[in-house]
Amino acid sequence: MSEPSSIHDVPTPALVVEQSTFHSNLAKMDAVLPGLTLRPHVKAFKTTAIASRLAADGHTGFCCATPREVEGMVAAGLGEDLLLANETLDTARLGALANTANITVAIDSDTTLDAAIAGGIRRVLIDVEVGMPRCGCDPADAGPLADRARAAGLEVRGVMGYEGHLMMVTDRSERTDRVGSAMELLLGAADDVGGEIVSGGGTGTFDTNTWCTEIQAGSYTLLDTDYAKLDLPFEIALDVLATVVSVSPKGWIVADAGLKSMASDHGNPSWAHGEVFFMSDEHVTLLPTELSDWSVGDRVRLQSAHIDPTIAKHERIWLADGDDIVDQWPVDLRHW
């Protein structure tokens, strides 16, 4: 079977990225955070095809969320500077790559440090909790943990702290002030820890977090409806393409994309031609503005509220120029 040349030939449900919007998003980020001031987070897009493009633009350090992502980046020849920005006890698989890639792992406790030592990890960042109730040590514990890591022979490159609880603060002034307060905690820990890196931030705070030496943003590349609510310069480049499989005279249509192809943790997707009524496993029920405009076999484009877990549900992304398919990217960083 030949590869599809048009979005009308792509098997659905499918991920489609508009090439011009994707390129525009990258250019807008590069204008603010060039080179190593941006450490793109591959968890957002889950494909080394996008990572390779970012590396070509000078962003050669990357964040990963899972050991699987680290392994995939190394296999793709993108292991110049990889940060596993999460704690893990599954370190042996990363230590096995220590001679072929520069891998740094976040630690926030004696136990995660012990795992790093046992697994053959050579470099760490001290993860500091700055207000989001997830991983990270108390700022006062960062210095002693760094001292213990260095005593064990590890290189401590600095600190990281994720202000994820502030990503969706809609008022820019409030967002900036609250990020500043969070970063005061991180900078205090950085003074105790030492090292050259202060890592944090994300798409929502990419230009309001001016305290970190590098920003861990990834969603900006493709964006989603959640981030689109903010005053960001990026636009939604990713659609979930679906086919209408049923039309009801009672006012709704049904397409072949549902919970198994789109994440719903941030809410339902958006649709430009009406409302999303509800999603089920393999279906989405839509309420079109004009029912007469739709027939079985028509294609619909849905915009996800959260791209990271949505992309992880698919095997490939189709790159499009309008209706024309120009490339396909394997989602090769899937799984754990």
Residues 268 and 133 in one domain: no
Average pLDDT score over residue span 255-266: 97
Q: Name the nearest CA neighbour of 269 among 9, 13, 10.
A: 13
Q: What is the pLDDT of residue 1?
A: 56
d(Cα 215, Cα 160) in Å, to the nearest integer? 10
**Positive or negative, the Cα torsion across 256, 258, 260, 261?**
positive
Residues 113 and 261 in one domain: no
273-286 pLDDT, tens per residue?
999 999 999 999 99
Residues 186 and 255 in one domain: no
Q: Are 156 and 149 a contacting pair, CB within 8 Å?
A: yes
212-246 pLDDT, tens per residue?
999 999 999 999 999 999 999 999 999 999 999 99
297 by Cβ neighbours in 10 Å (0-12 / 13-18 / 19+) ranks as exposed
Residues 162 and 267 in one domain: no
**Coil, strand or helix at 82:** strand
335 falls within a domain: no
Residues 147 and 204 in one domain: yes
Q: Which domain holds residue 115?
A: 34-216
The model carries a pTM of: 0.96
pLDDT bracket for residue 115 (50, 70, 90): very high
Domain end marker among 216, 246, 273? 216
Residues 255 and 288 in one domain: yes
105: tokens are: 């792992």
Q: How high is the mean pLDDT of the chain? A: 97
276 falls within a domain: yes
Q: Is residue 15 over pLDDT 80? A: yes
Number of neighbours of residue 142 by Cβ within 10 angstroms: 27
Here the CATH number for the domain that contains residue 279 is 2.40.37.20
Domain count of the fold of the chain? 2
pLDDT bracket for residue 260 (50, 70, 90): very high
pLDDT bracket for residue 26 (50, 70, 90): very high
Domain end marker among 185, 216, 247? 216
